[in-house]
Chains A and B, each alone.
Chain A
Amino acid sequence: MRLLAENLSAHRGEDLIFSNISFELKEGQALILTGRNGSGKSTLLRVMAGLLRPASGTISFWYDAARKAHNLGEVAHYLGHRNAMKTELTVRENLAFWKDFLRDAAGGTGYSVVDAARAVELEQVLHLPFGYLSAGQQRRMSFAKLLVGYRPVWIVDEPTAALDVSAEALLARLMREHQVRGGVILAATHQPLELLDVKRLEMKGFEFAAGDED
Chain B
Amino acid sequence: MTESLAIRKFSDLANPTRFLALAERLLPWMAGLCCLLFAAGLYLAFTTEGDYQQGDTVRIMYIHVPAAWLSMMCYSVMALSAIGTLVWRHPLADVSHKAAAPLGAAFTLIALVTGSLWGKPMWGTWWVWDARLTSVFILFLMYLGIIALNRAMDDPSKAARVSSVLILVGFVNIPIIKFSVDWWNTLHQPASVIRMGGPTIDGEFLRPLLVMAMAYTLLFFTLHITAMRNEIWRRRIATQRRLAARTASREV
In whole Å, how far is A146's beta carbon from the nearest beta carbon of chain B?
19
Q: Is B195 an interface residue (CB 8 A)?
A: no
Contact B241 A137 (CB under 8 A): no
Which of B132-140, B212-220, B242-250 is the contact stretch?
Answer: B242-250
Contact A124 B241 (CB under 8 A): no
In whole Å, how far is B153's beta carbon from the nearest beta carbon of chain A?
13
Q: Is B6 an interface residue (CB 8 A)?
A: no
Which of A2-10, A128-136, A150-158, A194-202 is the contact stretch?
Answer: A128-136
Selected from A121, A132, A133, the residue in CB contact (under 8 A) with B252 is A121
Selected from A121, A132, A166, A167, the residue in CB contact (under 8 A) with B245 is A132
In whole Å, how far is B238's beta carbon from the nearest beta carbon of chain A?
8
In whole Å, how far is A194's beta carbon from the nearest beta carbon of chain B?
20
Contact B246 A134 (CB under 8 A): yes
Q: A residues within 8 A CB of B241?
A: 128-129, 132
With CB as the reference atom, state the residue of chain A lying closest to B251.
A124
As a 0/1 sequence over residues 58 to 73 of chain A, the CB contacts with chain B under 8 angstroms (1 = contact) are: 0000000000000000
Q: Is A209 an interface residue (CB 8 A)?
A: no
**In the complex, what distance in Å separates the CA atom of A121 from the CA atom of B248?**
9
Residues from 216 to 252 in B contacting A, C-beta threshold 8 Å: 241-242, 244-246, 248-249, 251-252
Q: B residues within 8 A CB of A129?
A: 241
**In the complex, what distance in Å separates the CA atom of A129 from the CA atom of B241?**
9
Contact B245 A128 (CB under 8 A): yes
**In the complex, what distance in Å separates the CA atom of A131 from the CA atom of B242?**
9
In whole Å, how far is A212's beta carbon from the nearest beta carbon of chain B?
46
**In the complex, what distance in Å separates the CA atom of A133 from the CA atom of B252?**
14
**In the complex, what distance in Å separates the CA atom of A129 from the CA atom of B242?**
9
In whole Å, how far is B147's beta carbon from the nearest beta carbon of chain A?
18
**In the complex, what distance in Å separates the CA atom of A124 from the CA atom of B247?**
10
Q: Is A122 an interface residue (CB 8 A)?
A: yes
Q: A residues within 8 A CB of B154?
A: 131
Q: A residues within 8 A CB of B245?
A: 125, 128, 132-134, 137
Residues from 101 to 159 in B contacting A, C-beta threshold 8 Å: 154
As a 0/1 sequence over residues 91 to 120 of chain A, the CB contacts with chain B under 8 angstroms (1 = contact) are: 000000000000000000000000000000
Which interface class (under 10, 10 to 19, 20 to 34, 35 or more) fits B? 10 to 19
**In the complex, what distance in Å separates the CA atom of A167 from the CA atom of B249?**
10
Residues from 157 to 172 in A contacting B, C-beta threshold 8 Å: 166-167
Dominant secondary structure of chain B at its interface with chain A: helix
With CB as the reference atom, state the residue of chain B lying closest to A134.
B249
Selected from A121, A132, A166, the residue in CB contact (under 8 A) with B242 is A132
With CB as the reference atom, state the residue of chain A lying closest to B243.
A132
In whole Å, how far is A91's beta carbon from the nearest beta carbon of chain B?
9
Which interface residue of B154, B244, B245, B252 has the most chain A CB atoms within 10 A? B245
Contact A137 B242 (CB under 8 A): no
With CB as the reference atom, state the residue of chain A lying closest to B246.
A134
In whole Å, how far is B123's beta carbon from the nearest beta carbon of chain A?
46
**In the complex, what distance in Å separates the CA atom of A137 from the CA atom of B241?**
14
In whole Å, how far is A80's beta carbon from the nearest beta carbon of chain B?
23
Q: B residues within 8 A CB of A128?
A: 241, 244-245
**In the complex, what distance in Å separates the CA atom of A166 from the CA atom of B251?**
12
**In the complex, what distance in Å separates the CA atom of A166 from the CA atom of B249?**
11
**In the complex, what distance in Å separates the CA atom of A204 from the CA atom of B251?**
42
Selected from A124, A131, A166, the residue in CB contact (under 8 A) with B248 is A124
Contact A166 B244 (CB under 8 A): no
With CB as the reference atom, state the residue of chain A lying closest to B247.
A124
In whole Å, how far is B106's beta carbon from the nearest beta carbon of chain A?
26
Contact A125 B244 (CB under 8 A): yes
**18 extra interchain contacts, Cβ-Cβ under 8 A, other than A125-B244, A131-B154, A132-B242?**
A122-B249, A124-B244, A124-B248, A124-B251, A125-B248, A128-B241, A128-B244, A128-B245, A129-B241, A132-B241, A132-B245, A133-B245, A134-B245, A134-B246, A136-B249, A137-B245, A137-B248, A137-B249
Q: What are 23 inter-chain pairs, A to B, with CB distance below 8 A?
A: A121-B252, A122-B248, A122-B249, A122-B252, A124-B248, A124-B251, A125-B244, A125-B245, A125-B248, A128-B244, A128-B245, A129-B241, A131-B154, A132-B242, A132-B245, A133-B245, A134-B245, A134-B249, A136-B249, A137-B245, A137-B248, A137-B249, A167-B252
Residues in chain B within 8 A of chain A (CB atoms) = 154, 241-242, 244-246, 248-249, 251-252
